[in-house]
């Protein structure tokens, strides 16, 4: 079974056009930490081959591909001529996705903050108006004859709303992303691109993953949640929520 690969980043070289496909180069940095006794991985260069039809659907151009962050999912190939594949590894692309721009995210966040401030200001203005109208009502009552007032029961304190959690439900711990070791079996799988994009949008909206990763407490080996691992890698999370797999 061919090995599945996922890359994220921008093109490091100009777009090259062929008869039915386009090609461009990418580079990805290895993990900063390696198992004890092994050398750390370095940069690996890739040459990505994408069908023109799939590339045109992304809206990318020769200029924008150098600046936009993209997600590539595909398989390595050894059947491309060397002059067409300057990268160390050739990738046949099955799925190409343009990832959200960081500037767009910051713009949306600033817009949300502005709206929140406006709501707070409106609430304060209403409270101020209520406090001004209360004395007028009191003066009007002094003109009327006194009436017997029935004792009013004190209202029970309304419980304050709980703060929204900053991590997904069930989280037991927070660990460094680089400490997690992914088994070869997961690397051979291909997460659903649609669900991956939905999970990225969820992180963009809430600031955290939709569920924690399941790992072994002692070895930090990933047991479940490879899709969340990919999402955390795409959005460049330094720390991720986890639950520990119980011993069987």
Per DSSP, the residues of 158-227 read PPPPPPPPSS-TT--EEEEGGG-B--HHHHTS---HHHHHHHHHHHHHHSS-SSPEEE-TTT-BEEE-HH
C-alpha separations of 125 from 113, 119, 120, 132 in Å: 19, 10, 9, 11
Q: Could you give the CA distance from residue 248 to residue 245 in angstroms, rounded to a whole number?
A: 9
User: 23 or 36, which is more confident?
Assistant: 23
* Token pair in block for residue 17: 């056009």
SS3 83: helix
Q: Which domains does the chain have, with CATH numbers?
A: 5-101 (2.40.50.140), 173-244 (3.90.1530.10)
pLDDT at 240: 92
Q: Could you give the CA distance from residue 69 to residue 7 in angstroms, rounded to a whole number?
A: 10
Report the percentage of the chain scoring pLDDT > 70. 78
User: 47 or 119, which is more confident?
Assistant: 47
* Token pair in block for residue 59: 């809206």
Provide the whole-model pTM: 0.41
* Token pair in block for residue 36: 């004890």
| Mean pLDDT rounded to a whole number for the chain | 80
- In which band, very low, low, confident or very high, does the pLDDT at 162 lie, cut at 50, 70 and 90? very low
User: 121 or 89, which is more confident?
Assistant: 89
pLDDT at 118: 80
Q: Is residue 104's pLDDT more than 70?
A: no
């Amino acid at each position: 079974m061919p090995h599945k690969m996922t890359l994220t980043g921008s093109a490091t070289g100009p777009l090259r056009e062929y008869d039915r496909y386009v090609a461009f180069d990418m580079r990805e940095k290895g993990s900063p930490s390696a198992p004890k006794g092994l050398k750390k991985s370095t940069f690996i260069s890739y040459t990505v081959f994408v069908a023109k039809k799939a590339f045109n659907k992304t809206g990318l151009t020769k200029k924008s591909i150098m600046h936009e962050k993209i997600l590539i999912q595909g398989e390595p190939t050894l059947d491309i001529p060397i002059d067409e594949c300057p990268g160390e590894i050739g990738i046949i692309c099955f799925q190409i996705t343009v990832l959200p721009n960081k500037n767009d995210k910051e713009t949306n966040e600033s817009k949300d903050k502005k709206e929140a401030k406006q709501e707070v200001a409106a609430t304060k203005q209403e409270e101020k108006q209520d406090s001004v109208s209360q004395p007028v009502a009191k003066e009007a009552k002094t003109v009327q004859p006194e009436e017997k007032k029935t004792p009013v029961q004190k209202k029970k304190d309304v419980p304050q709303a709980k703060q929204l959690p900053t991590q997904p439900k069930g989280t037991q711990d927070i660990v460094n992303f680089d400490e997690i070791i992914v088994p070869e079996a997961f690397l051979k799988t291909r997460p659903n691109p649609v669900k991956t994009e939905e999970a990225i949008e969820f992180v963009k909206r809430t600031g955290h993953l939709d569920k924690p990763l399941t790992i072994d407490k002692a070895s930090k080996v990933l047991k479940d949640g490879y899709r969340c691992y990919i999402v955390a890698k795409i959005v460049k999370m330094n720390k991720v929520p986890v639950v520990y797999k119980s011993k069987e």
